[in-house]
Amino acid sequence: MSGTKKKKTGFLYAKEVVVWVLLVAFFSGLIIFNKDRIFKKDKDTEKTSEAETEPGIFDEDWLNQSDSEPEETEPSETEPAEPTVEHTQALAVAEGSGPLRVYFLDVGEGDAAILTLNGQAMVIDGGDAEHAGVLVNWLANLGIGRVDYMISTHPHKDHVGGLPSVYSQAAVGRLYTPVTEYAENAEFSRLMTLAHENGTEVRVPQAGETFDFAGAEVRFLGPTRFDPDEMNNNSLVVRVRFGDNSFLFTGDAEVNEEADILSAGYDVHAEILKVSHHGSEYATSVAFANAVGAKECIISVGANEYGHPSANVLQRLIDAGGMVYETMVSGTVTVTASGTGYTMNFER
Ligand SMILES: [Zn+2]
């Protein structure tokens, strides 16, 4: 009997040693793991803060949608090249503010985006006239009866054609445009007429100008000068920041305007990039793609004869650390930003 008892005690003792060894190993591991994280955070607070945030915790109904896709929670292995300018400080988000929702609409070969935040709405471009119904339906379905800010990046048909139809659904508070006259496109003239008839304030912004969109900062980074030869290079380039989250809308800016913006020293860094000019080869230089360092790159593109998007541009965006989405393939892309993280959704 005693022999059995002794044996049992010895077994228990061995078990305790194993438990202690496991506990020590576990806590050592925790300390090493956190040291690594603390070091990383010191090194680049802005990049890791987003990656460490649980996606969608501010927005449970969003997570319940079956077709929603969670954001990447792990930072990518290959870090994008360092931006050429200093990062600006993250903005504080007021309690209860948000989320900022950005809808990159599938309007074929053209650009149209709707932004909503804290009861306000903004439209950046409207696609061509043929797809005006897409924009108007989205506004109606979102219950938007007032567009506080409308940005017409430039007066080409594939960006401005759908904007006059907005007036059939919503009042428009303020219109930003790089020009007030553009005889080549009657649709733009129609937009200007509607703006004047409806009391919309029309503004041609200067580079560097900012305005507050319901708690998000909107900054015009370009154009820094007027290009009389290429209207694409007069595109209003807009950076929107909400807390740690940042978006860049580039219109159809080509490499010359990109270079101007970089040499002016503007912070172009953005987590989410509306890729310029439908992925054209003449835009999204290596330097610009690297300076933006976008994680999500949305190309607004449809069937076209221009070879959009360019395979070289796709490669530049991937090399800069981004995932690329085309509206032609993914449909309308929606990004829901809490100010500390974001989720993405795709619907065709
Ligand atoms: Zn275009």
Query: pLDDT at residue 40 above 70?
Result: no
What's the gap in Å between 190 CA and the centre of ligand 1?
19
Q: Percentage of the chain with pLDDT > 70?
A: 75
For residue 340, pLDDT over 70 is answered with: yes
C-alpha of residue 48 to centroid of ligand 1, in Å: 34
Name the band, by pLDDT with cuts 50, 70 and 90, for residue 11: low
CA of 129 to the centre of ligand 1 (A): 13
Burial class from Cβ neighbours inside 10 Å (0-12, 13-18, 19+) for residue 265 reads exposed
How confident is the model at residue 179, as a pLDDT? Answer: 98
Compute, in angstroms, the gap from residue 156 CA to the centroid of ligand 1: 7
CA of 279 to the centre of ligand 1 (A): 10
Instruction: List, in sequence order, every beta strand (DSSP E) within 236-322.
Output: 237-242, 245-249, 272-274, 296-299
pLDDT band at 95 (very low <50, low <70, confident <90, very high): confident
Report the separation in Å between the CA atom of 251 and the middle of ligand 1, taken as the mean of its atom positions: 7
Res 129 pLDDT > 80 = yes
**Strands in the chain per DSSP E:** 68-69, 100-104, 112-117, 120-126, 146-151, 171-176, 201-203, 210-213, 216-222, 237-242, 245-249, 272-274, 296-299, 323-326, 332-337, 342-347
Q: Which residue from 196, 216, 219 is spatially nearest to 206, judged by alpha carbons?
A: 219
More confident residue, 235 or 40: 235
Strands of the sheet containing 112-117, edge to edge, are 68-69, 342-347, 332-337, 100-104, 112-117, 120-126, 146-151, 171-176, 201-203
Residue 116: pLDDT above 50? yes
CA proximity to 107, closest of 133, 78, 146, 141? 133
Å from CA of 252 to ligand 1 middle: 5
Tell me the three state secondary structure of residue 216.
strand
